[in-house]
């Protein structure tokens, strides 16, 4: 069959990719925030940071449990933030 080379990324490469994806995940949440309130530099940093932390967690779930695990975790987080918190705190 010939020479077949398989590339398995190192843990460092996996986490570098996770950090980049998490930052992008944070940036992609800016339009939703901008639809609710005007963006200030402090708010931009906060939105990116908070969502990037979530993105790191979802990336870890993806790496350890697969895409479905990350999707269920993301859905659960969104459900808590957008449904349960407003109900509990009457927001």
Sign of CA dihedral 49, 50, 53, 55: negative
**Which pLDDT belongs to residue 6?**
84
**Which pLDDT belongs to residue 1?**
56
**Which pLDDT belongs to residue 91?**
60
Compute how many other C-beta atoms are within 10 angstroms of the C-beta atom of residue 71.
13
Length of the chain: 91
Phi-psi region of 90 (alpha: psi -120 to 50; beta: other; left: phi over 0): left
**Which pLDDT belongs to residue 2?**
62
The segments of the chain whose pLDDT lies below 70 read: 1-3, 91
């Amino acid at each position: 069959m010939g020479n077949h080379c398989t590339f398995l990324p190192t843990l460092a490469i996996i986490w570098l990719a996770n950090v980049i994806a998490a930052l992008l995940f944070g940036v992609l949440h800016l339009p939703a925030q901008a639809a609710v309130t005007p963006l200030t530099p402090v708010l931009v940093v906060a939105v990116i940071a908070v969502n990037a932390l979530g993105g790191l967690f979802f990336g870890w779930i993806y790496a350890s449990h697969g895409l479905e695990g990350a999707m269920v975790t993301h859905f659960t987080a969104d459900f808590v933030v957008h449904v349960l918190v407003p109900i509990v705190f009457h927001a």
